[in-house]
Amino acid sequence: PSDQPTDESVRIFPSLPPIHYGHPEIHLRAGIMRASRLAEAQEPNAEKAFFVADLSQVYRQHMRWKASLPEIQPFYGAPPDLRKQIQVILIAPLFFTAVKCNPDPYILRLLASLGAGFDCASNGEISQVLGVGGIDPARIIFANPCKAVSFIRSAGKAGVDTMTFDNADELYKIARAHSSAKLVVRILTDDSKSLCAFGIKFGAPLHTVPGLLGKARELGLNVVGVSFHVGSGCYDPSVYTDAIARARAVFDMGREVGYTFNLLDVGGGFEDALFEQAAAVITKAIDQYFPDRSALKIIAEPGRFYVSKAFKLAANIIARRAPLVEVSATTPEVSDEPSVMYYINDGVYGAFNCILFDHQVIHPYVLSMDGSFHVPASVPQKLSSVWGPTCDSIDCVSPKTTLPSALQVGDWLGFDNMGAYTVCAASQFNGFELSNVIYTMGGAGGLEVQKALAGLAASGHGL
Ligand code: PLP
C-alpha cells in the first residue's frame, strides 16, 4: 500500500460516515497523519485512537462461508423489493449472524444486503436490526433462552416469532406473552474446547428435554427445532459431531411427543483459522445424522467469524514511564520483567474489554515511530508492558510484550483482529470516549460491498 492517504470516498447512507476506498493500511496511516495535523493545530483530543473497518473483509468471509457450507440451504427470506435489486441474496446461504458480536451500523447493513438473518439477544438488538429497514422479522431469531416477559411480548408484537428456550419457566412465560412463537430448544453440548464456554449458563441437558417438550406440548406451544452453541472461539471443531448427534437425538424425542421439527441451528463458535475444518466436520455430521434433509432448514449463528479480522485499531502512546521496581539485595541484575510501561488511549474499559470478557491475548505492533511508518527490522527491542488510559490498574492491555526500545510518547501502536466482542461492550469509564471508526471497502470484494449497500439504499431501506 502507498503511504498516501486517500480522500476518495462514497457516502451511501447520508446518516452514516462515508466509506473510503483503499487498503486498510492506507487508512491507518491516513488516520495517523490526520491526527498529527490536528495535534499541530492544537485541536483537543487530536491523538484519539481509531478503528479502521474493512467491509470487504466481511464480504470475503461471506464468500468463504458459501464455499465451505454449500449444503446449507439458500436463504430467500428477504422482501421481494430487495431481492430484485440485490442478486447476491438469491444465492446467499441461510445464516443468522450474531448481532452481539459487533452491531456496527455498516456491518448490519452489509449483512442484511447479503441476505443474512440475525441472531438477537435482546429487544434492543431486535430494534437495531429492524431499524435498518426492509428486514423481514422472520429473518430474526431471538436466541436468548432466558428472556424477560416484556421482551418476549415486544418481540411477538414486532413479528419476531422464532425464539429459543432451555427451561420450563421460559415455556410458561412464552405461553403468556407470545403463544404462537416458533420455539427452538437449546441443548447442552460439549463446550470444553472453546475460549468462552456457555454451558454453565445455557442449554438443556438431554435428560431434561423429554420433560420440557412434554410441557411445551401441554401448553399448546409450537416447538420447531433444536439449537446448540459449542462455545465461542471453538479450537477443536470435532465437537460439532457430538453436538449434531445430540441434536438428532432431540429430533427423535420431539417425534415421540408429537412434534415434527424442521429447524436445526448449529450456533456459532467458528474460528477464522479453523473455519474450513469446522465446515467439513459439520457437513459430514449432518450427512450422517440427517440424511433426509428434504424438510429440514439448517441455520447457523456465526459472529466472530464474520467480523474479527475486519477491524484494526490504532492507538496513540500518551505516556511512558519506568516500572516501579523495589530494588533490594536479591533483585537480579538481568530481569525478565518489562523495563518500560507504555500508556495508550484505549484500554480494557474500551475496545480491549475483549481481554476480560473474551479471553483475548493482545499483540501490539508499531504503526508509526518518530513520525515514520517504516520501522527497520534491526531496531533494538525491549520487554515492555502496555496499559490503557484509565486510573484503574486492571486496565492492562499487554503485561509483557516486545517493542522497539526507541518508542516514545506520540508514537502509534496497531492491533489486528479487533472486530469481534470489542466496540460492542466498550464503556466510557473515566470519561474516555469510544474510539471512532473509519470505514473502507478495502481490497477484493469492495465493488460487491458497494453494490450490495447501494441496493439497500436504493430500496429506501437502511437510511
Ligand atoms: N449465538 C449465541 C446464542 C451466542 O450467545 C453467541 C455468542 O455469544 C453467538 C451465537 C456467536 O458466537 P460466535 O461469535 O462464537 O460465532
Please report, for the domain that includes residue 27, its CATH number: 2.40.37.10
- Nearest atom within ligand 1 for CA of residue 420: 14
Indicate the average pLDDT of the chain.
91
| 122 found inside a domain | yes
DSSP secondary structure of 309-361: GGEEEEEEEEEEE-------TT--SS-SS-SEEEEES--TTTTTHHHHHS---
Indicate whether 97 pLDDT > 50.
Answer: yes
Q: What distance in angstroms lies between residue 313's CA and the mean position of ligand 1's atoms? A: 23
pLDDT > 70 fraction of the chain, expressed in percent and rounded: 91
Q: 338 with 415, same domain?
A: yes
Whole-number Å distance between alpha carbons of 148 and 145: 10
Indicate whether 92 pLDDT > 50.
Answer: no
Domain hosting 322: range is 9-55+308-440
Whole-number Å distance between alpha carbons of 340 and 320: 7
Per-residue model confidence as pLDDT tens digits over 312-322: 999 999 999 99
Whole-number Å distance between alpha carbons of 309 and 57: 7
Instruction: Give 378's contacts (C-beta < 8 A, 6+ positions apart).
Output: none
- The answer, yes or no, to whether any atom of ligand 1 lies below 6 A from the CB of 338, is no
Type of residue numbered 71: E
- Give the pLDDT of residue 70: 65
Domain boundary among 307, 323, 350: 307
Q: What distance in angstroms lies between residue 269's CA and the mean position of ligand 1's atoms? A: 6
- The answer, yes or no, to whether any atom of ligand 1 lies below 6 A from the CB of 269, is yes
Q: What is the mean pLDDT of residues 328-333?
A: 66
| 459 found inside a domain | no
- Nearest atom within ligand 1 for CA of residue 231: 15
- The answer, yes or no, to whether any atom of ligand 1 lies below 6 A from the CB of 232, is yes
- The answer, yes or no, to whether any atom of ligand 1 lies below 6 A from the CB of 147, is no
C-alpha cell at 92: 446467499
Residues annotated catalytic, as ranges: 391
- Nearest atom within ligand 1 for CA of residue 144: 3
3 state SS of 54: strand
- The answer, yes or no, to whether any atom of ligand 1 lies below 6 A from the CB of 265, is no
Q: 15 with 94, same domain?
A: no
- Nearest atom within ligand 1 for CA of residue 119: 1
- Give the pLDDT of residue 82: 36
Type of residue numbered 177: A
| 170 found inside a domain | yes
Domain boundary among 307, 328, 343: 307
- Give the pLDDT of residue 129: 94
- Give the pLDDT of residue 188: 98
Q: 43 with 92, same domain?
A: no
Reported as type and span, the H/E element at residue 279 is: helix 275-289
- Give the pLDDT of residue 86: 33
Cell 484494526 identifies what position? 312
CATH code of residue 295: 3.20.20.10
CB 53 within 8 A of CB 17: no
Ligand 1 pocket check: which of 186, 194, 232, 266 to mutate, most ligand atoms within 8 Å of Cβ? Answer: 232
Domain boundary among 280, 307, 334: 307
- The answer, yes or no, to whether any atom of ligand 1 lies below 6 A from the CB of 261, is no
- Nearest atom within ligand 1 for CA of residue 186: 3
Indicate whether 327 pLDDT > 90.
Answer: no
- The answer, yes or no, to whether any atom of ligand 1 lies below 6 A from the CB of 54, is no
- The answer, yes or no, to whether any atom of ligand 1 lies below 6 A from the CB of 303, is yes
Q: 239 with 331, same domain?
A: no
Q: 260 with 335, same domain?
A: no
Distances (CA, A) of 299 to 127, 258, 259, 263, 308: 22, 23, 19, 8, 20
Of 436, 387, 369, nearest to 53 (Cα)?
A: 436
Indicate whether 3 pLDDT > 90.
Answer: no
Q: 204 with 329, same domain?
A: no
3 state SS of 149: helix
Whole-number Å distance between alpha carbons of 207 and 201: 17
Q: What distance in angstroms lies between residue 84's CA and the mean position of ligand 1's atoms? A: 31
Per-residue model confidence as pLDDT tens digits over 170-182: 999 999 999 999 9
Strands (E), 87-178: 96-98, 117-120, 140-142, 162-165
Per-residue model confidence as pLDDT tens digits over 39-81: 999 999 999 999 999 999 999 999 999 899 866 542 322 333 3
Q: What distance in angstroms lies between residue 301's CA and the mean position of ligand 1's atoms? A: 6
- Give the pLDDT of residue 332: 65
Q: 170 with 61, same domain?
A: yes
Q: 166 with 223, same domain?
A: yes
pLDDT band at 287 (very low <50, low <70, confident <90, very high): very high
- Nearest atom within ligand 1 for CA of residue 198: 5
- Give the pLDDT of residue 444: 86
Of 386, 389, 393, nearest to 432 (Cα)?
A: 389
Per-residue model confidence as pLDDT tens digits over 417-457: 999 999 999 999 999 999 999 999 988 889 999 999 999 99
C-alpha cell at 339: 523495563
- Helix then strand then coil, % of the chain, to nearest 5: 35, 20, 45
Q: 73 with 27, same domain?
A: no
| 4 found inside a domain | no
Indicate whether 331 pLDDT > 90.
Answer: no
| 455 found inside a domain | no
C-alpha cell at 210: 423429554
Q: What distance in angstroms lies between residue 120's CA and the mean position of ligand 1's atoms? A: 10
| 451 found inside a domain | no
Reported as type and span, the H/E element at residue 59 is: helix 55-68
Q: 394 with 365, same domain?
A: yes
Indicate whether 233 pLDDT > 80.
Answer: yes
Q: 170 with 68, same domain?
A: yes
pLDDT > 90 fraction of the chain, expressed in percent and rounded: 83
Per-residue model confidence as pLDDT tens digits over 103-144: 999 999 999 998 889 999 999 999 999 999 999 999 999 999
Q: How many domains does the chain contain in total?
A: 2
Ligand 1 pocket check: which of 229, 282, 308 to mutate, most ligand atoms within 8 Å of Cβ? Answer: 229
| Whether the predicted interface score ipTM is above 0.85 | yes
CB 310 within 8 A of CB 53: yes
- The answer, yes or no, to whether any atom of ligand 1 lies below 6 A from the CB of 101, is yes
Report CA torsion sign: 410, 413, 418, 422.
Answer: negative
Q: What is the mean pLDDT of residues 17-27?
A: 94
Q: 105 with 202, same domain?
A: yes
- Give the pLDDT of residue 71: 61
Terminal CA-CA length for the chain: 32
- Give the pLDDT of residue 115: 87
- Give the pLDDT of residue 202: 98
Cell 472461539 identifies what position? 233
- The answer, yes or no, to whether any atom of ligand 1 lies below 6 A from the CB of 229, is yes
Q: What distance in angstroms lies between residue 145's CA and the mean position of ligand 1's atoms? A: 13
- The model carries a pTM of 0.92
C-alpha cell at 292: 433426509
Per-residue model confidence as pLDDT tens digits over 372-425: 999 988 999 999 999 999 999 999 999 999 999 999 999 999 999 999 999 999
